[in-house]
Structure 1
Amino acid sequence: MQPVDTLIRTLTSARTLALSAMLALTPLAQASSETSAMDQLGQSLTPIGAEKAGNSAGTIPAWTGGLKPEQGAMQDDGNMTDPFANDPVLFTITADNLDQYRNQLTPGQLAMFKRYPDTFQMNVYPTRRSASYPEAVYEATRSNAETTTLLDGGNGITGLANGVAFPIPENGLEVIWNHMLRYRGDSMDLTLSQVIAEADGDYREITKQTIWNFFPSITDLEDESNLLFLYKSKVLEPVRMAGEVTLVHEPIDQVAEPRRAWKYLPGQRRVRRAPNIAYDNPATSSDNLKTSDNLDMFNGAPDKYEWTLKDKKEIFIPYNSYALYDKNQSNADIIRPGHINPELARYELHRVWVVEATLKDGQRHVYGKRTFYIDEDTWQASIIDLYDSRDQLWRVGMAHAIQLNPHQVPWLVTEVFYDLHSGRYITNGIANSYKKPLVFGQLASKSDYTPAAIRRWGR
């Protein structure tokens, strides 16, 4: 990987034109014709490429730096102080008043109101542009803005430092790469649960310890520039599955170098190569409620789809959902028939990039089309509407985000995928069952992520 380049050069004319096109979507952020696109980062644009100004209605405020590191600090038991606990509910969107807000909702959200007219609702709070990052991420983003380019028809990246790959995106592929490569801390060690909820509200959960090391935190990468991260997770509960380990080596370009994965099964005391954990193969232990490329909303190779940057819109998206992270709330408090407890979910009005992915001719995937709504302040895919091969809306994915301080990492409380047909859903990331904090900043060696290493870890 290339190191952060602190020398700022003039951005290419193509990216200058791309910025002009983007600003035309929202006339609030005006760029001087004499100012290069690069200079807009940190001025009319935030350091990672969002519009710094608020909207004309005053319902989206200006970005003023996000939460400071000391705000919302993590406690020893993993809990966090909600910096917005005193915010009032501005209004609640229900099936009865839906038409007032229809233009600021996605088709998937509208479908949730239709599917659950008596119980699904959205409590809307003041918009808080809480996202902030370490200064090194801002510096890396400025470097990326002039050096990062797509390779292999958009399947790979070159010239990448550990920031936003394309802060001034030209197309839908660049936006989706921003989501996949966004900063999530150089490393993370967390205990979380995956919960499968039946239509009647009964549920079962699997709790895992999960460890990621992204490329900047791996000490002996040498020249392996295609590696994005190393990942391993170990099942803690239920007892019948305890000790099962999954190991993943995640490349950036997965067309040139497919993802490699292994499983350790304690009953067999053996490590085996895992089947293809990619594309539309069912995600591990998901009961076929989401695909492998639904993990983290979307991951993996983008080669099966045509990616179109459609628009930039103001949408009510899940945001600052600290109530869902509150460890005084159990999974029983969160899980409800059909959907999570709406009293614990917080929605805010934010600007999102709208990207449509349409399956290419000759390619196969259970999703014929996906529409992504990607938060401008974090490049997190906040909502995904998922369509089947008949172009019928099938599933809806929602990512409930918070700011993890003092580490300045925008992250997820949980991601939820709702099946509109069966009434079932799956959540991943709820960390309420275990009283321990997330751990960031741990260095690792490649030797920590070998089949032999996960066999020892599983035992």
Structure 2
Amino acid sequence: MPLMASAKVSPEEAAKLGIEGTELTPMGAIRAGNADGSIPAWDGGIKTPPVGYTQGGWYIDPYADDKILFTITAQNHEQYKDRLSAGQIAMLKKYPDSYKLNVYPTRRSASYPKEIYENSIWNATNTEFCNPSLGKDREERCVKREVYRPGIFFPIPKTGGEAMWNHTYYWFGKYYTVTHYGFNAFADGTYAEFATRERWIVPAAMNPDEIPKGDVFTRNGGAAWCFSQETLAPPRNAGSIFGGCNYFETTDFDAYLYVPGQRRVRKAPEIGFYDSPSSNSDGLRTADSKYMGAMTGDVEWYTWTAERKEMFVPYNAYKMAQPGISMKDIVRPGHINSDLVRYELHRVWAIEGKIKPGFRHLSPHRVTYIDEDSWAGVASDMYDAQDNLWRVSEGYLLNYYDVPTVHHFADDHSDLINGRHASNAGWPNISGNPGDLINYHVMPDPDVQTPAGLRKYGMR
């Protein structure tokens, strides 16, 4: 059912949450399986890394022996349509000879540190939006740090805004560095490549004594997450780097950009702002489409509603995370190689946004699909101004079991109108160097999130 009223929950309702034996998991997911058994009960997810895994090495596929149960194609999709998104159906119809869903057994692999479970349960009866609100259209855009502990903010969400906040600030580790190899593909399947290095510091995931010092991390009620992206290739763009933070009391991304040709740092309010073009995207992605959609800007432009449903979604993307894969193996006309994608049946939160009167966005209507076990995005549909389905995105999740946490390995954003598609976050295995993989064990230099630090890291 759609979510309605907003409030922190009562102790009686919070009692549904628990690490074992309760109706809901600590993250707010339904613990039980579904009626026909195609979704199993959650039993704690991946508890230890697979035999043979070493920290810093390739992520071994714990489900490598699983076989495809069935394949959804343009020819048979009608029998599965109740568990498909509008975007998936549109992709099946537009690319009937190449786009398909290979469906595997459902593995509810999501798992987190015990502290995150305990904190999320605590948050259920303590975390609430700022009251009074800091302004019009900011009623669900501010949380006081003292009523939150690192975990999920609203494990039993009562509104679409709470659900979207959970997704925007889902727990994906305290910090990391990763090298991404992305592409912007033309309709015929040719493509242009680029590479970036992302450095994340996530104060919302940290205890107070772990948070870096300095104004950039403490103002506006404290930083929630801080994100820096450095362009490594192509050569004409190499050396540009931006960094900035979102805050507990303002979800606007406070960003700064170092431009090598100008040899200076400037404030960059367009980075991360709603439908501004995302960096290195050739206009194929909006800033707020990262990780399948997230809140940005200082005020809320959308009215959000959310409901839980069953859906075939990308999950446990270990097959595409192995070494030896090249960009030629990945890119196909209109979408990535469907044989690389593992789909499973999961419950998701379908969070629908419709633009409020007085605001304008390239996509006035959108739906973001969120995995109930992790709050990470698995898919999204964006509609144009005439409410025609326009862009379809997929997020390829896996459990980084050395933390553990669930996060994206890669993504793909397809334009149904012009036939192009793009991937921004992912494919660190392209280089063949495990050193490019996500590193959750060394915190990036906090200076990279400051104007002075950007001068140090930017190539001159």
Q: TM-score, normalised by structure 1?
A: 0.89
Contact 2:382 2:392 in 1 (8 A): yes
SS state of the match for residue 236, structure 2? helix
Q: What's the CA shift for 1:182?
A: 0.6
Q: What's the CA shift for 1:267?
A: 2.8
Alignment of 1:37-436 (within 5 A): 37-42=13-18, 43-71=22-50, 75=54, 78-151=57-130, 152=133, 153-158=139-144, 159-215=147-203, 216=206, 217-220=210-213, 221-222=217-218, 225-254=221-250, 258-277=252-271, 278-299=273-294, 300-301=296-297, 303-309=300-306, 311-428=307-424, 429-434=426-431, 435=433, 436=435
Q: What's the CA shift for 1:444?
A: 6.0
Distance 1:15 1:458, change over 3 A: closer
Contact 2:49 2:402 in 1 (8 A): yes
Q: What's the CA shift for 1:227?
A: 1.4
Contact 2:242 2:258 in 1 (8 A): yes
Distance 1:136 1:73, change over 3 A: farther
CA distance in 1, matches of 2:220, 2:82: 46
1:200-246 per-residue CA deviation (whole Å, 9 max, x = no partner) reads 11111211111100112532245652411222122222222222211
Q: What's the CA shift for 1:172?
A: 0.7
SS state of the match for residue 333, structure 1? helix
Contact 2:368 2:380 in 1 (8 A): yes
Distance 1:78 1:427, change over 3 A: farther
CA distance in 2, matches of 1:87, 1:167: 31
Q: What CA RMSD, in Å, does the superposition of the two structures yield over aligned residues? A: 2.1
CA distance in 2, matches of 1:55, 1:76: 35
Structure 1: runs of 5 or more not aligned: 1-12, 18-34
SS state of the match for residue 349, structure 1? strand
SS state of the match for residue 439, structure 1? coil
Distance 1:313 1:451, change over 3 A: same
Contact 1:234 1:245 in 2 (8 A): yes
CA distance in 1, matches of 2:266, 2:448: 17
Contact 1:194 1:205 in 2 (8 A): yes
Count residues with an aligned counterpart.
428
After superposing the two structures, state which structure 1 stretch, 63-72 or 389-398, moved more: 63-72
CA distance in 2, matches of 1:135, 1:77: 23
CA distance in 2, matches of 1:72, 1:37: 39
- What is the identity percentage for the equivalent residue pairs of Structure 1 and Structure 2? 39
1:456 equivalent in alignment to 2:456: yes
Aligned to 2:136: none
Amino acid at match of 2:158: E
Distance 1:53 1:425, change over 3 A: same
After superposing the two structures, state which structure 1 stretch, 220-229 or 325-334, moved more: 220-229
Distance 1:72 1:322, change over 3 A: farther
SS state of the match for residue 136, structure 1? helix
1:157-205 per-residue CA deviation (whole Å, 9 max, x = no partner) reads 2322210010001011111111011111000111112211111111112
Amino acid at match of 1:175: A
Amino acid at match of 1:458: G
Contact 1:185 1:441 in 2 (8 A): no
Q: TM-score, normalised by structure 2?
A: 0.88
Structure 2: runs of 5 or more not aligned: 1-5, 134-138
Distance 1:74 1:337, change over 3 A: farther
